[in-house]
Chains A and B, each alone.
Chain A
Amino acid sequence: MGMTSAQKRGFGATLWDWLTTVDHKKIGILYLAGGGFFFLLGGLEAVIIRIQLMSPENNFISAGLYNEMITMHGTTMIFLAAMPILLGLMNFIMPLQIGARDVAFPFLNSLGFWLFLFGGVLLNLSWFTGAPDAGWTNYAPLSIQSPGHGIDFYIMGLQLSGAGTLMGGINFIVTIVLMRAPGMTYMRMPLFTWTTFVASILILFAFPALTVGLFLMMFDRMFGSAFFDAALGGNAVIWQHLFWIFGHPEVYILILPVFGVFSEVFPTFAKKRLFGYTAMVFATFLIAFLGFMVWAHHMFTVGLGPVANSIFAVATMAIAVPTGIKIFNWLFTLWGGSIKINTAMLWSLAFIPSFTIGGMTGVMLASAVADYQYHDSYFVIGHFHYVIVGGTVFGILAGLHYWWPKMFGKYLHEGLGQISFWTFFVGFHLTFFIQHFLGLMGMPRRYWVFLENQGLDTGNLISSIGAFFMSFGVIVFLINIIYTTIKGKKAPRDAWGSGRTLEWTISSPPVHYNFKQLPLVRGLDPLWIEKTEGNEKMTPAEPVDEIHMPNGSILPLIMTIGFTIASYGFIYQTGNKYWLIAVYSGIAIALICMLTRSLKDDHGHHISKEELERVGD
């Protein structure tokens, strides 16, 4: 085992290793690769949308295809790109930060990844027969009445990948509660671990609402129920409630982890501890808690009445307070520091003004009566891209540049990094700032064409030009990854020289058991504490001894394939009952896997003391 033997394996063995892996680091990389692939796909869809809207009454793509494009862009970016990439970072980094050798349920971790991947692939298979076209919010009754199987792919694809995400969330919660190294109390945990913890709690409580909503919609579309059909006594507004009870916390699932990333990057490159650590932790919880109280601000125009609108408006504004606390704490972390600016830091620094604008427009949107104008217009598009791109995407890129040396043992190229940063940054503001004005000038969202002579031409053209800048930035980043993989500079343990947390105490990339000896944590920023006392290494909390690690397994992949076959069957059994064979056989495959897993004992393997001593660290 270990790195040396892995490098000498043939292609088949390497492939088998990745298909069966339960190592949180490899699963993390798989998440990053899968999420990255879908990010490119979603980006391509975005570019097609912007080409269509480059000039008035354009005919680049048809109306039906346009609706498929916007639906798939939103769904892909949220569910298949942003969230999996974050899960990838959490998977790789969080166990290292708390001094653990793996997550609590490695088998479940693997299953969660494969469910996400196959859910995403299933959703995208819909392109061959007609993709979903009711928007990523999939509002009934438009989604119920949508012909073809597009919406069915949406339902089954999200159900699969959603189940995977839920597993990931539960796994992280248990890992953080049970597997912290000796001395790592809650209030000594790095902020990224904290935000992983809180985001996982959000996943645990928010995703069931989506699951329920998707099931109801599945029954309506496939089995003749009428939960959302007004003509039969149903109510389509229920879908909106279920969707947003999930959907609003989802926004915080996307943003809280990157708040954690920035809280790691700023202290490292300012050489200063995080300002107001306790306040940051409590602000994170407060944001998460309030995040469940505000879903109806997506529904101010639904006709809920002035009482509901007022309550949700004020609750929404309240979120500005903990978010403001965070912004000021970051600023004062930098204040008085010794700030080194590199690509990771550029992305983090660019986040502050960009996200502040997103937050500003967020408060503006919270004012219900003002929202009557903003709602479902390009103002909203501008707002949430400032939050999700200016927050989540900037944060992901900051995190990737920051942790790349830890994950792959090599630094991303600094020059290429800065080129991609500046083009993407400029393109981002070009694309989305003007959209606030387009919205107020009377352009609703999800418009296939805008008419001539409505004063919307210039704004849309600028927006489209910005999209090309962003694309260029992404392409340069891809080139950077390839360049780094081939010729990148090797990174030591403490890659930035000013690391503060446990991941910087082990080799880059880490060995598969992470820590030869679990470290003894003596306070917040454990590595920093040791460095200030002149120690080069952590004090171990245990003698070198046999390490118990889990075995890999192919079962999660087979189980997922079973579920995917069943999902495919569900989609097509509406037209031809022979497809029920796929449903039954798919579920049978999954059940057999579960049975095998339950009955066959797997005690994992041990890494002997002798081997540990031979390898060194």
Chain B
Amino acid sequence: MRGWMGKTKVFFVFLLLASFLAGCGIENLTALEPKGYGAEKSMDLIILTTLIMTGVFIVVMVIYVITLVRFRRKKGQEDYVPKQVEGNHKLEVIWTVIPIILVLVIAVPTVLATFDLSDDSKADELINVNVKGNQYWWHFEYAGEEIQTSQDLYIPTGERVYLHMLSSDVIHSFWVPSISGKMDVNAENVNTMYIEAYDEGVYWGKCAELCGPSHSLMDFKVIAVSPDEYDEWVNDMQNVDTDAEPENAVAQEGQELFEANNCMNCHATDSAASGIEAGPQNNGPFGPNLTNFGDRSRVAGILEHNKENLVDWIMDPESIKPGNKMTGQYPELSQDEAESIAEYLLQLKPSEITPESAGD
């Protein structure tokens, strides 16, 4: 009976361990399945350090277990007095020198990778995006392209994209675990990093620095598409027809409501609207750019992209993102009005290139 119980226990522990190891998180969010240059560099070092440190841990545990098994006081040994050993010069040298060597083995690739990831010598020839972090949304302006967008950052696969990041309020941190490690977005200085995605996909981005009540809801996406699709997207975004009439009457009414209710004060529907300048002053934009809102992957960065959620957001953003800056900035709307506005916004689809192009 006892033996059977023992075996089940071992089996159970094994099962538990296996399920831990299998659960590496979901694709395109987890850092454990790197899909970009920075994430791969980090993963190499994570693996190297984990292996070395596990080795150290095993050595410690072997000595520990042997000690506890061999030298535990047994019955009848109460009066035994062990030899009082002061130390052992040779042993002490060994456990000083070996760790120094191990540290060097970790230090050299760390330093090399640190310089590699901060290399911006060729930034001028590549795509440069000015990123602005805001409570609780992200703004992206493509330098020299006259394109702006928010929340979904489109990039081509296989190319380095340089991000020049600045915050309009408090510190945020730009993190797309599957593509790259994070970097803080400060209010006083522009921080530059680059990302490079290997495969097409919609990658989860997270804010990683406490920035207020809705810190955990400041999600965004990096949408990596093929270079051709990216060029097409750029072209589409540069040629948005701002005078186009919405398709149906509801949407037309929505557009009128959008204009009548101060929405334009903060939200541009034109991709080329005035750019952001470097500097700590929050000179706008004060709300996400909605040019390609119909193609967004999520409402407010977190909710499934559908009309119902959008209406909920317009009616009461506070209940979805506590502490957001949109609440109270516009007159109260009726359900019908909100639905019209939603209808209008969901029709803003200037490009064929959408999250679906990246396989979402």
Residues of A within 8 A of B (CB): 62-64, 66-67, 133-135, 139, 141-142, 145, 230-231, 234-237, 270-273, 275-279, 301-303, 305-306, 309-310, 313-314, 317-318, 320-321, 324-325, 327-329, 331-332, 334-341, 349, 352-353, 356-357, 360-361, 363-364, 366-373, 375-377, 434, 437, 440-442, 444-451, 453-456, 458-459
Contacts and interface: CB of A to CB of B under 8 A. Distances in A.
Contacts of B100: 321
Interface stretch (B26-34, B153-161, B245-253, B289-297): B26-34
A339 B217 CA distance: 52
A449 B323 CA distance: 15
A141 B26 CA distance: 33
Range, interface on chain B: 35 or more
A301 B191 CA distance: 10
Interface string B69-93: 0011100010011111111100110
B31 to A, nearest CB: 5
A546 B163 CA distance: 76
Contact of B114 (A231, A277, A369, A459): A369
A310 B67 contact: no
Contacts of A310: 110-111, 114-115
State the majority secondary structure of interface residues on B: mixed
A329 B31 CA distance: 37
Contacts of A335: 63, 67, 71
B346 interface: no
A377 B95 CA distance: 32
Instruction: Across the A-B interface, give the 9 residue pairs with the lowest CB-CB distance, nearest first.
Output: A372-B181, A441-B25, A230-B280, A447-B216, A63-B213, A230-B188, A303-B191, A360-B53, A276-B87
A455 B38 contact: no
Given A303-B189, A321-B99, A373 B42 contact: yes
Given A356-B56, A369-B117, A442-B178, 15 more contacts: A141-B171, A237-B189, A272-B83, A272-B85, A275-B85, A313-B111, A338-B71, A360-B56, A372-B38, A373-B42, A441-B31, A442-B26, A442-B29, A455-B25, A455-B30
A187 B68 CA distance: 29
Nearest to A319: B103
A134 B210 CA distance: 7
Contacts of B56: 324, 356, 360
A370 B46 contact: yes
Contacts of A135: 210
B183 A356 contact: no
Contacts of A302: 184, 186, 191
A139 B210 contact: yes
Contact of B25 (A324, A331, A356, A440): A440
A446 B215 CA distance: 8
A276 B53 CA distance: 24
Interface string B188-206: 1101100000000000101
A141 B110 contact: no
Contacts of B67: 331, 334-335, 339
Contacts of A349: 68
Most buried by A among B96, B103, B183: B103
Contact of A142 (B63, B83, B212, B214): B212
B216 A273 contact: no
B187 A448 contact: no
A242 B339 CA distance: 51
Nearest to A238: B188
Contact of A334 (B60, B71, B204): B71
B148 interface: no
B184 A442 contact: no
A67 B85 contact: no
Contacts of A340: 73
A139 B85 contact: no
B24 A352 contact: no
